[in-house]
Chain A
């Protein structure tokens, strides 16, 4: 029997490397991508293709400038995943330059300046998204009404920036909820708020991402802690407020199946690099994301909050790790900073 002569971690299972894991993530977004395309047209598909091209291009350029092995680093597919997640979060009415700015910023500033995969303190896709949301709020909040997907030719025109998008755009359930919160009569008159079990159309997008997320969990690409934390945190804070005043506050199911909730919980918050690492840390990390999502959605100035919540918790992740470091066997728990 041949002895294993590779360095740790000692795994003999085939396909157990970064690239294979990232490819599983890419496959798992397929249901979500399909749902977005079915409801909102080919815009998202065009965005994804262009974002992947830009991301791979930027990564290759930067690696070349640093004198690194371009093909080795590109084959871990992390740039593709970043581009894919950013493009999935962006509205299908985005023109090409929006994708270009967001993806280039995500790859160059948020990822490569910190030394590439494994070193970035913030989730690159969400850094790109937040940059765009702050700089171009109008373009970034222009969604299409569900089931009124424009034809492929229209989508291409929108992507090239040659058509007036306003003819296609419609408010999302979260926008509508923000506008009419507290007004019972108007809320019951808004068809977009009354889909099969949550906001019209969006419940299927989120259900599709939930399916993809469960696949990732089944393949053990992600652990259950972060998604469970996010969903539990969001439910735990939305439920009492909804019971207290169901006109002013949306119900938990609506929150769980609106906007980027499932995409965020299963695909974005679980980024192994920028999330907390210990089990308890991950539960805290996830739960706080859930709470922040609800707070910013309900009281904040932006329609969806997943990107902000993830970035804010990325920022706190090193501190969470610092305080939740597990005790090593045979040693007492470490005393930390102010907890002395």
Chain B
């Protein structure tokens, strides 16, 4: 049990995907202009990341390893993620049209989120990966992504009205802010040794 708690804390804070491993920066910069959209993106990403992390693990353990096709992992994971995203979209559209409208274009966009592929690949690189540890890791990565995305969005709403020098407006001050956030997250380093 405590092993899974450690994996979760590690993925959320210590090895945060955005601020420590610098994965998934495109949605981090792209959909962080408003808190509401950032929350929609967080929800969608959390769902897809957890699901695809598990599916990728199953593909790895029951298809790629038995047939000795490990070298195909990148391309097969991309396929799995694309399928997971597409199925999620179809399911959400049928099951909850309201949620589908709220998430809108962010749902298909998750396919191109490099954190999703990153989690899948990092998962199978660990030798003692199990079904549950992959699930926890994927969920933790998604929680960490959501956390910093929402915090960053709230911060950017403030910076948008600040008197930033002309040359630094928009994405440049956003990237500087992300860098300073990264500095702050360094405080968690050494918290957990996995």
Binding site for B on A (CB under 8 A): 66, 109-110, 112-116, 119, 121-122, 127, 130-131, 134, 292, 295-296, 299-302, 305, 307-309, 311-312, 314-316, 318-319, 321-322, 337-338
Contact = CB atoms under 8 A, between A and B. Distances in A.
Contacts, number: 94
Given A113-B168, A311-B183, A315-B184, A300 B162 contact: no
A143 to B, nearest CB: 19
Contacts of B151: 315-316, 318-319
Given A66-B165, A319-B150, A113 B190 contact: no
5 contacts: A122-B180, A134-B186, A299-B190, A315-B151, A315-B181
B187 interface: yes
B92 interface: no
Contacts of A296: 187-188, 191
B26 to A, nearest CB: 21
Given A302-B189, A302-B190, A308-B184, 13 more contacts: A66-B165, A109-B176, A109-B180, A110-B180, A113-B164, A113-B168, A119-B163, A130-B187, A296-B188, A311-B187, A315-B184, A319-B150, A322-B35
Contacts of B158: 121, 318
A131 B183 contact: yes
Nearest to A312: B184
Interface in B162-186: 162-165, 168, 173, 176-177, 180-181, 183-186
B39 to A, nearest CB: 5
Given A134-B186, A311-B183, A338 B154 contact: no
Contact of B39 (A66, A134, A301, A337): A337
A112 B155 CA distance: 17
B191 A119 contact: no
A292 B191 CA distance: 11
A337 B43 CA distance: 12
A295 B159 contact: no
Given A113-B168, A301-B189, A302-B190, A318 B157 contact: yes
B191 A318 contact: no
Contacts of A305: 187
B181 A115 contact: no
Contact of B191 (A109, A116, A295): A295
A338 B39 contact: yes
Interface in B113-165: 150-151, 154-155, 157-159, 162-165
Contacts of B192: 299
Contacts of B70: none
Given A119-B163, A312-B184, A337 B36 contact: yes
A110 B185 CA distance: 16
